[in-house]
Amino acid sequence: MEYIPVLVLIISFIGLLAIGTPVAWSISISALLTMLVSIPFLPATTTLAQRMGAGLDSFALLAIPFFILAGNLMNKGGMAHRLIAFAKTLVGALPGGLALINVVAAMLMGAIAGSAMASASAMGSILGPEMEKEGYSKEFGAAVNITSATTGLVIPPSNILIVYSLASGGVSIAALFLAGYIPGILTGLFLMIVAMIWAKRKGFTGKTNKGSIRFAQVVKTFISAFPSLLLLFIVIGGIVAGVFTATEASAIAVLYSLVLGFIYKEISFKNLPNILLDSSLTTAIVMLLIATSIGMSWAMSYENIPQATSDVLLGISNNKFIVLLIINIILLFVGIFMDMTPAVLIFTPIFLPVVSKLGIDPVHFGIIMVLNLCIGLCTPPVGSVLFVGVGVAKTSIQKVIKPLVPLFLAMVLALFLITYIPQLTMWLPNLFDL
């Protein structure tokens, strides 16, 4: 009898996704069906609605719409062009220069905007045509853009780390933000190494690769990009120093991005309504996913599914390396079929008690989970960043798969290093006593 709720949850959720039901509806319907195993219809529907509404009643969640708006303002406000110009002076002279520029610029964009979708859209539309002109294949450019865009979800500020903080019961957002730097940069470096090797083997060399890194040019582009980069220090520095909360920092990011967009003359009052509308639509989608995922998490807790999962995993092994390997494999599989936000909200309450019993820091596990699910964003059939990258490049998923595989493997290698070397994640939070 105790396995019936688990079977109902899994079968209904997978079945609903298989017939094309939107993810949010699939989550809420499967949660309701799970509750109906042991609760009458009217109390079940009422409780689910209450849990969804109460789950959104969180001050920390206010940061998400603000960061989404800030990301859109940055994307439209000319910051991407300046970050790309700065990245060109840093790595443009190396083999596979434009591919490396894409990775570095995506990391910088992610560190400021915290949006993989915005990064993939901006870098793909700006660098994609330029890469084609210099002889790079369209598919290789799309593959680099897709994978590098996800680094912005690990490098702070990151909406998904805020979601993990909520799902974990209040893990420090400041600690999570600091913990994301080294893993995000390490993943970016691995992607750059693979991109360099692939570019050399395929003969992807162009004008950007000629010459050498010039200090004067680096300084010039750095000065141009400095106002954009300054936002990073304001937001993260203020949170770590305790000057303001993550939610207050997100509001400051919106104001700063708006002012900077007007200064750069890339944003006007004429295009503000469209930016606000796009941000509202994205926020609505994200918040609906969060609400339904919180409802499912409550349903699973009521049916003791997390406890049952914990017993099963710890019954297999008490060795934390083996348990983490199993969890990584499960999350890699989950990332193929589920978007990141609901996956974090649903699986954090399941796996966090398991890893906590094994002495793994919740901050460390949060970075493992987020980086793991970043890989899922690059894989079909649900990979949102994959679809954005392919759409911007005007190519097909089938053609992108071949150059995507080595970059995908580089991300997996980075994931396992971060999983089994906790110092990579915990060094900065420990340094600041967070």
What is the DSSP annotation of 384-400?
HHHHHHHHHHT--HHHH
Q: Residue 3 gets which letter from DSSP?
A: T
Rounded CA gap, 96 and 100, in Å?
6
Kindly state the average pLDDT of the residues 373-385: 83
The rounded percent of the chain whose pLDDT value lies above 70 is: 95
Phi first, then psi, for residue 379 (nearest 5°) are -120, 140
pLDDT at 187: 95
Rounded CA gap, 368 and 363, in Å?
9
Is the pLDDT reported for residue 209 higher than 60?
Answer: no
Mean pLDDT of the chain: 86
> Residue 354 corresponds to which tokens in the numbers above?
């398991």
Is the pLDDT reported for residue 78 higher than 80?
Answer: no
Q: In 19-115, which ranges are continuous DSSP H helix? A: 23-35, 41-55, 63-76, 79-91, 97-113
Is the CB of residue 342 less than 8 Å from the CB of residue 23?
yes
Rounded CA gap, 377 and 210, in Å?
34
Is the CB of residue 289 less than 8 Å from the CB of residue 24?
yes
Is the CB of residue 254 less than 8 Å from the CB of residue 133?
no
> Residue 275 corresponds to which tokens in the numbers above?
């930016």
Is the pLDDT reported for residue 94 higher than 90?
Answer: no
pLDDT at 208: 52
Kindly state the average pLDDT of the residues 365-383: 88
Q: Is the CA virtual torsion 264, 188, 434, 287 positive or negative? A: positive
What crossing angle do the helices spanning 97-113 and 215-241 adopt, rounded to 10°?
A: 30
Task: Give 113's contacts (C-beta < 8 A, 6+ positions apart).
Answer: 67, 70, 71, 74, 75, 79, 119, 152
CA angle (159 as vertex; 155, 160 as ends), nearest 5: 80
- For 110-156, the pLDDT digits (tens) are 766 667 777 787 778 778 888 888 778 888 889 999 999 898 889 88
Is the CB of residue 116 less than 8 Å from the CB of residue 154?
no
- For 182-201, the pLDDT digits (tens) are 999 999 999 999 988 888 88
- For 339-362, the pLDDT digits (tens) are 888 899 889 989 999 999 999 999
Is the pLDDT reported for residue 420 higher than 60?
Answer: yes
Is the CB of residue 106 less than 8 Å from the CB of residue 184?
no
Confidence of residue 1 (pLDDT cuts 50, 70, 90): very low
